[in-house]
Structure 1
Amino acid sequence: MGISEAEAAVMEVLWRGAPRSAEEILEAVGADRDWREGTVKSLLNRLLKKKAIRAERDGRRYLYTPLIAREAYVSQESKGLLDRLFDGRVAPLVAHFSEQRKLSRRDIAELKRLIEELDDERG
């Protein structure tokens, strides 16, 4: 679908609670990003064209609701990242992050647990 970083910020607000008006979305993200109402409305229009959200009239305003689940978006973005940068392989991704950022003991323990679970499922 190709959702930009700015559009994803709007989607995050909607995933946390929908339906929401443009004003409510602006209130949730506008100050952090120095956005104005026009910016939010432009992003909402782009998301409507992409069929990522729907708009429902509520008196003089519109209420927006996501049409795609956050999990589906994260899955699509993760797969795209893996395919583009790591030839679809997870191990080089983990190696890259371990080189760039020090993995905590907790991170390592979670990775070990995940590997054990995967190994049990396939064994």
Structure 2
Amino acid sequence: MKLSDFELDVMQLFWDEGPSSAATIHKWITKDKNVAYTTVKTIIDRLEEKGAIQRTSIEGRSIIFAAAIKKEAISTKLLPEFVRRFFHGNSSQLVAHLIKDDKLSEEDISYLETFLANRKTNKGE
């Protein structure tokens, strides 16, 4: 399933906030973007057509929608394309970029060291 950047922004709200109406999504999204309600409603209609969200209930005159796909299902498809386009398919360059440009806490570094050690140990099995 291919989603535009704006569709992904709307999906992120469904994943973060849970079932919501188009009006609620519009209220949240206008905190970051100047966009008309009709534009948000069009995106919600497209997401429903694509099967990314589904109608779950009706509250008064508002239709409540919820994510029909998990965030991981989309990120699993998007990440390899992102790595290919920006890092020539080399995921280690992506990881190095994230580590270099991000301010990692000691806890983050410990987590990564443990994760990599476990990955190295399990890869040999």
**RMSD, aligned α-carbons:** 2.3
Partners of 2:19 and 2:102 lie apart in 1 by: 39
TM-score (norm 2): 0.78
Q: Which 10-residue stretch deviates more, 106-115 or 40-49?
A: 106-115
CA-CA distance at 1:47 after TM superposition: 0.9
Identity of aligned residues (%): 29
Q: Deviations over 1:40-76 (max 9, x none)?
A: 1011012112211112451422111111101222222
Alignment-mate amino acid for residue 3 of structure 1: L
Alignment-mate amino acid for residue 70 of structure 1: K
- Residues 13-92 of structure 1 aligned to structure 2 (within 5 Å): 13-56=13-56, 58=58, 59-92=60-93
TM-score (norm 1): 0.79
Partners of 2:25 and 2:109 lie apart in 1 by: 37
Partners of 2:68 and 2:81 lie apart in 1 by: 20
5+ residue gaps, structure 1, are: none
5+ residue gaps, structure 2, are: none
Q: Which 10-residue stretch deviates more, 31-40 or 62-71?
A: 31-40
Runs of 4 or more above 6 Å deviation: none
Q: Which 10-residue stretch deviates more, 15-24 or 55-64?
A: 55-64
Aligned to 1:8: 8
CA-CA distance at 1:89 after TM superposition: 3.1
Aligned to 1:118: 119
